[in-house]
Amino acid sequence: MKRLILLLMFLSFFYVEALALNLKGTTIHIVDDSSEWAPYTYYKRVGGKATKEIVGFSVDVIDAIFKKNGINYTIELRPWKRALEETQAGVKFHLILNASFNEERAAVFNYSIPYYTTTPHYFYSKANNPIRIIIKSKEDLERYKIGGIRGYNYIPYGVDMSKIDTDASDFVALIEKLKKGRFDIFLENLEPVVGYSTVAKNVLKDADLAYAPLTYLERAKFHMLMPKNEVGAELKKIIDEEISLMEKSGELNKILKKYFPSK
């Protein structure tokens, strides 16, 4: 009996090893938000017009990881909610490149280790608020009606998601609602707003838009998401190992400087 158990353990070890090698030469299908998340994942612009090519910091990182491990991939952008649902199912898509952490997602996805951070900010209309809005704590934040983008995760800000107006589809729609007084402020990390301004409308040039950092919060960590299946588990193993190596070697920071030269 002991010999049988040892034999089964031995065979299972080689089965796991074989499964790990299965990703080499296979094609992983990546999806992300169709609203774009520049400069992390977005459509390349030529002469100010969007092409079909998807580029960005996150794309460069996964491209380096997959090339090193002999993994092919496709990438497309879809509405965020659909991207989450189809990746969770793990049939059509196997990987999302940009996601913040929350417990609800962690219950149904494998999370990679974090590979970049952003700076939480609040934004408000000067016309609607002649006196500057100052938020220094969660208690300050709770005094305001908050807006956001559909499908985005605002749990890291320490707010009740059910109380946030998330009817806007992108930053332009969000700012229009802000100006109309539908809410007092909206919450977002500064870096993707800067990125959006370089590939679409430069919302930061809007003279009516004021913004400031939420200094009581830590920088927001972003991860890759994979389904909770065998492919997702193997992807997590490979991606986590490679991100750690890229961080130690300085390669991650080198890629980031391509998009944020001042960092």
E strands present in 61-196: 72-78, 95-99, 109-111, 116-118, 120-125, 146-149, 165-168, 185-189
Please spell the DSSP secondary structure of 99-129, one letter per residue: E---HHHHTTEEEPPP-EEE-EEEEEETTT-
Mean pLDDT by 10 residues, the chain (263 residues): 46 43 89 92 90 97 98 96 94 96 94 97 96 95 94 88 90 93 95 84 88 95 97 97 98 94 69
Say what the pLDDT of residue 224 is: 98
Say what the pLDDT of residue 150 is: 87
Dihedral over Cα of 89, 92, 95, 101: its sign: negative
For the chain, domains (ranges, CATH) are 2-116+222-259 (3.40.190.10), 120-213 (3.40.190.10)
**Residue carrying structure tokens 């806007």:** 168
Burial class of residue 104 (count of CB atoms within 10 Å of its CB; 0-12, 13-18, 19+): exposed
Dihedral over Cα of 224, 227, 228, 233: its sign: negative
Q: Please count the CA atoms within 13 angstroms of the CA of 76 that sit on its side-chain side.
A: 12
Burial class of residue 21 (count of CB atoms within 10 Å of its CB; 0-12, 13-18, 19+): exposed
